[in-house]
Amino acid sequence: MNARQKTLRILPVIFLALLLFTPCKDANSGFSDIVGGGLGGNLPGPIGSATRAVVALGKSFQDITPEQEYYIGRAVAANIVSKYPPSSNDRFNDYLNTLGQTLAQASDRPCTYGGYHFLMLDSPEINAFAAPGGLILVTRGMVGLCKTEDALAAVLAHEIAHVQGMHGLKSIKNSRLTTAFTIIGTEAAKTYGPAQLSKLTEAFEGSITDVTSTLMTSGYSRDLEQEADKGAVTILGRVGYDQGALIVMLTEMKKQLKPGGMDFAKTHPDPQDRIGYVKPLIGNASAKPIPPERQKRFEAVLINL
């Protein structure tokens, strides 16, 4: 076989390889094309170009950039702090941040736009909240349920897992996001004009209401709570805390939470139910004894809480 014959035999193979390796058109491009055509496909000049491009800059909560998640989280946290007085116990808040930020580094999503930060709320109610992006708030009542650092770590790890899973963002109605993504696409200027800013702020306010009401009133689905408990078990294990502390906390909640209460009982599945699915995650791992040094420092920060 001469060189020309060999080449002729190879060419179909190369052609097939090209077909296989060429990236497919985005499966969702139909949606983008429809929206793009409707909003700006016929506009002339730069604005038209930008419009065609940006209409595809988002479809669901997953397209919210970490930067936008940060601003949503700030406003959600501000709303919670406006309803629950924050604790100005610097010593405890420092401890809470050291513990919480260390745990967050062991999560699957240690880096958020603005990082993880923690604060105790000066309320006897048993509750904890995770605002998108990593602002985590835990009440004095919840801290009071914890008998060990490992137990408090379990509470924080559960909240970190909600941030990791972007659960808060999932509660935002699609209509708000559609408004935001559309404006991002249609506005060509570096800063927004009054009309765009007004529409964006309206969508933002709606988003904050969606997330805040989910955190404070309706709660997440059982599936998301289970996902957060699973994430918590993983984080505790990676850092070296007793994973069984989550079951200890749930058992304590079972004793203390009143059915029909306005706190954690309202927004979370029954602790007994949660114990049922957490136990198999931990398996036969034996409980880790709490070193006296750890217990001593924990009890020290609880003084005058």
Partner 1 sequence: MTLKRVVFVPVFLLALAAAGWSDSGTMSVQVKEGQLRSTPSFLGTVVGPVSYGEQVQTVQKQGDWIDVKSSKNLTGWIHQSALTSKQVVLNAGGQAGSAANDKEVALAGKGFNADVEAQYRRNNGSVDFTWVDRMEAMNVTREQMISFLDQGKVRPEGGAK
Contacts (CB under 8 A) with partner 1, residues 159-178: none
Q: Which of 40, 68, 219, 267 binds partner 1 (CB under 8 A)?
A: 68
CB of 230 to partner 1, least distance (A): 17
The Cα-based distances of 296 to 123, 191, 290 in angstroms read 24, 53, 10
**Contacts with 194 (C-beta within 8 Å, 6 or more apart), sequence order:** none
User: Can you tell me which of 156, 180, 233, 245 binds partner 1, judged by CB under 8 A?
Assistant: 180
Residue 11 sits in the site that holds partner 1 (CB under 8 A): yes
* The one among 166, 239, 281, 302 contacting partner 1 by CB under 8 A: 239
User: CB under 8 A: which stretch of 202-210, 220-228, 248-256, 278-286 binds partner 1?
Assistant: 202-210
- The residue (of 200 and 246) whose beta carbon lies closer to partner 1 is 200
Maximal CA-CA distance, the chain? 91
Burial (Cβ within 10 Å: 0-12, 13-18, ≥19) of residue 22? exposed
Q: Per rule CB under 8 A, is residue 286 in the interface with partner 1? A: no
Query: Which residue of 30, 37, 42, 49 would you call a contact of partner 1, by CB under 8 A?
Result: 49
User: With CB under 8 A as the contact rule, which of the stretches 221-229, 264-272, 279-287, 293-301 interacts with partner 1?
Assistant: 293-301
For 285, list phi and psi in degrees, rounded to 5: -60, 130
Distance CA 75, CA 60 (A): 20
CA 123 – CA 281 distance, rounded (Å): 32
User: What DSSP element (H or E) covers 181?
Assistant: helix 174-186
Restricted to residues 93-122, the positions that interact with partner 1 (CB under 8 A) are 93-94, 97-99, 101-102, 105-106, 108-115, 117-119
